[in-house]
């Protein structure tokens, strides 16, 4: 009788032990699955309140689900607003919260919002784990590696105004120039990054210069409109602990030039070959920065003017070397 009881008890233990082990294993696997995910920000709304990731119903993401999103510098809880099979749109639980992520940025995604204090250190310190996840992501999306290398897409608008001073000037068929040339310059530029720190830009500038000659006593007014393009290199690593970021820029451009000398006027083609700028970007506001630029440039004008008294058309080439200072805003 005792032997039969022993055999029945042993049988019951054998039946329930695998269930416990299986449940424990499932919990551990679920926790690992839920708490170890790197995702790429696919899109951020224009108002900065919602964002989209490539996690959907197939990844056990459902509407109104709360999850933890974290990076090295910040973490917050967001709620799934809309979900389909592949993607989900999220909004921060805190009212009026602005999403601190950018498109293409890699962040940590966790289903367990109560484990924020254990989740963040693990993500930061476990480099081998992050490397493994990134490799898996590259397998699913081969283009992701190139996008990460280039960094998230960043665009800026810049508006600036400044002054110029001519160091030297030469004009065809004119000798012994003696005078000073000063001017005002207004710029608008659009920038887009190619890599993390290298940007290409397009711009339009308006120049208003005045040349005052002492021998003879002549005043010359010049208006130039030049469209230009170039590259901007941001030197973010020079002053890491400062709010000031230096940068270097190179411009090449072409446009029109119109000059008035007393009763005569001439007009023609103007070229900017080149302009070199050393700039400093200061984080004065939450989203916008103040720009201070020092620049040197070579401006050439190939103009024709008609003498009112004679009626003959004469071509005249002018080369000017300027230095200047710009002050502006970056949006």
Per-residue pLDDT of the chain (331 residues; tens, 9 = 90+): 544 544 554 444 444 444 434 444 444 444 444 444 788 899 998 888 899 998 988 888 888 888 888 887 788 889 999 999 889 999 988 777 788 888 888 888 887 765 554 555 555 455 555 666 666 677 767 776 666 666 678 899 999 999 999 999 988 877 666 789 999 999 999 999 988 889 999 999 999 999 998 777 888 999 999 999 999 999 977 776 778 899 999 999 999 999 998 888 899 999 999 999 999 999 888 789 999 999 999 999 999 876 655 555 578 899 999 999 999 999 9
Q: How far apart are CA 152 and CA 145, in angstroms?
A: 12
Q: What are the beta bridge partners of residue 168?
A: 321
**Res 23: pLDDT:** 41
Domain residue limits at 110 = 37-150
**How many separate domains does the chain show?**
2
Q: How far apart are CA 168 and CA 146, in angstroms?
A: 46
Q: How far apart are CA 246 and CA 233, in angstroms?
A: 9
Q: How far apart are CA 305 and CA 309, in angstroms?
A: 12
Q: Are residues 141 and 214 in the same domain?
A: no
In three-state secondary structure terms, 120 is: helix
Q: Are residues 142 and 247 in the same domain?
A: no
Q: How far apart are CA 3 and CA 248, in angstroms?
A: 89
**Res 174: pLDDT:** 74
Residue 135: enclosing H or E segment and its boundaries? helix 127-140
Q: How far apart are CA 68 and CA 58, in angstroms?
A: 19
The Cβ of residue 282 has, within 10 Å, a number of other Cβ atoms equal to: 14
Q: Are residues 282 and 314 in the same domain?
A: yes
Q: Are residues 198 and 281 in the same domain?
A: yes
Helix, strand and coil content of the chain, in percent to the nearest 5, comes to 20, 50, 25
Q: Determine contact, residues 330/281, Cβ cutoff 8 Å.
A: yes
Q: Are residues 186 and 273 in the same domain?
A: yes
Domain boundary, last residue among 134, 150, 166:
150
**Res 116: pLDDT:** 52
CATH number at 166 reads 2.40.160
Q: Are residues 167 and 309 in the same domain?
A: yes
Q: Are residues 130 and 227 in the same domain?
A: no
Q: Are residues 305 and 167 in the same domain?
A: yes
Q: How far is CA 124 from the centre of its chain?
A: 25
Residues with Cβ within 8 Å of 246's Cβ and at least 6 positions away in sequence, in order, are 234, 235, 238, 239, 278, 279, 280, 281
DSSP 115: G
Instruction: Give tens-digit pLDDT for 129-182.
Output: 566 666 667 776 777 666 666 667 889 999 999 999 999 998 887 766 678 999
> Does the residue 230 lie in any domain?
yes
Domain boundary, last residue among 117, 150, 183:
150
> Does the residue 263 lie in any domain?
yes
pTM of the complete model: 0.58
Torsion angles phi and psi, residue 147, rounded to 5: -65, -35
Q: Are residues 284 and 175 in the same domain?
A: yes
> Does the residue 29 lie in any domain?
no
Q: Are residues 85 and 162 in the same domain?
A: no
> Does the residue 2 lie in any domain?
no
CATH number at 92 reads 2.40.30.20
> Does the residue 16 lie in any domain?
no
- The Cα-based distances of 192 to 21, 149, 153, 156 in angstroms read 55, 15, 7, 7
């Amino acid at each position: 009788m005792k032997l039969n009881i022993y055999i029945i008890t042993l049988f019951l233990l054998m039946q329930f032990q695998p269930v416990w082990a299986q449940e424990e294993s499932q919990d551990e696997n679920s926790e690992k699955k839920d708490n170890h995910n790197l995702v790429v920000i696919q899109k951020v709304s224009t108002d900065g309140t919602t964002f989209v990731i490539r996690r959907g119903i197939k990844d056990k993401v459902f509407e109104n689900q709360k999850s933890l999103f974290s990076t090295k510098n910040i973490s917050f809880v967001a709620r799934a607003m809309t979900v389909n099979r592949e993607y989900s749109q999220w909004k921060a639980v805190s009212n009026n919260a602005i999403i601190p992520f950018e498109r293409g940025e890699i962040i940590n995604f966790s289903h367990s919002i109560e484990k924020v204090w254990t989740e963040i250190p693990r993500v930061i310190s476990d480099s081998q784990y992050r490397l493994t996840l990134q490799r898996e992501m590259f397998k699913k999306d081969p283009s992701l590696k190139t996008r990460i290398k280039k960094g998230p897409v960043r665009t800026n608008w810049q508006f600036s105004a400044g002054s110029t001073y001519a160091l030297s000037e030469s004009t065809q068929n004119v000798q012994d120039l003696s005078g000073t040339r000063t001017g005002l310059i207004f710029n608008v530029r659009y920038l887009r990054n190619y890599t993390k720190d290298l940007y290409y830009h397009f711009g339009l500038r308006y120049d208003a210069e005045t040349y005052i000659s002492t021998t003879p006593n002549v005043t010359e007014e010049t208006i130039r409109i030049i469209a230009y393009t170039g590259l901007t290199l941001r030197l973010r690593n020079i002053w890491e602990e400062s709010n000031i970021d230096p940068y270097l820029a190179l411009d090449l451009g072409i446009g029109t030039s119109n000059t008035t000398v007393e009763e005569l006027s001439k007009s023609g083609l103007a070229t900017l070959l080149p302009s070199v700028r050393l700039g400093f970007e200061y984080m004065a506001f939450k989203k916008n920065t103040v720009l201070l630029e020092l620049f040197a440039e070579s401006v050439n004008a190939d103009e024709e003017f008609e003498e009112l008294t004679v009626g003959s058309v004469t071509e005249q080439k002018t080369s000017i070397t300027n230095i200047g200072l710009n002050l502006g805003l970056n949006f």
